[in-house]
């Protein structure tokens, strides 16, 4: 499981011009799954994400977590995080989990974030989406459960 974390002052996801998810300050998560990912991978990354100290304290030091701030998450599925670009100019996606598996894992991931007391907005799994964000910092971190 791989997640690109972006600290944002605001973010939204739209489908056909209609906003389906929107947050103020918090984290935009681009979430991908690969073969063999499980609930254990989800549990590990949920703990890391909600407790990661990437928001600034009163001294301007990244020392405050999402949970401490009470901020929100916009979670967007993105199978392209598992693109294989080693064999030419067209990426292959055979490393991404099959949609029926990834959908279940994505739903579980978002529910476990909500179980931590976080407001979680999402895109629509498998849809063609437009994501808008204002990246604060900028701060972008990539984490992997492996």
Of 78, 106, 109, 122, which residue is the catalytic one?
A: 78
Q: Is 80 a catalytic residue?
A: yes
Of 55, 79, 106, 109, which residue is the catalytic one?
A: 79
Q: Of 54, 11, 36, 29, give the one whose Cα is nearest residue 109.
A: 29
CA distances to 32, 35, 91, 93, 95 from 87, in Å:
21, 20, 8, 12, 13
Q: Is 109 a catalytic residue?
A: no
Helix (H, G, I), strand (E, B) or coil at 98: coil
pLDDT tens figures, 23-39: 999 999 999 999 999 99
Query: What's the structural domain count of the chain?
Result: 1
Structural domain containing residue 72? 2-144
At 15, which CATH number? Answer: 3.50.80.10
Structure-block tokens of residue 134: 């204002």
pLDDT tens figures, 66-91: 999 999 999 999 999 999 999 889 99
Q: Is 140 a catalytic residue?
A: no
Q: Of 126, 16, 19, 120, give the one whose Cα is nearest residue 67.
A: 120
Write down the pTM of the prediction. 0.94
């Amino acid at each position: 499981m791989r997640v690109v974390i972006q600290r944002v002052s605001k973010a939204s996801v739209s489908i056909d011009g209609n906003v389906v998810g929107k947050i103020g300050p918090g984290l935009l998560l681009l979430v991908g799954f690969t073969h063999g990912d499980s609930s254990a991978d989800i549990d590990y990354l949920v703990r890391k994400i909600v407790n990661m100290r990437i928001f600034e304290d009163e001294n301007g030091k990244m020392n405050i977590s999402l949970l401490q701030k009470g901020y929100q998450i916009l979670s967007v599925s993105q199978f392209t995080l598992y693109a294989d670009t080693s064999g030419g100019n067209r990426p292959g996606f055979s490393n991404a989990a099959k949609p029926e598996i990834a959908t279940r894992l994505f739903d579980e991931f978002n529910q476990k974030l909500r179980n931590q007391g976080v407001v979680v907005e999402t895109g629509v799994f498998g849809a063609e989406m437009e994501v808008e964000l204002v990246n604060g910092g900028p701060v972008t971190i990539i984490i992997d459960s492996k």
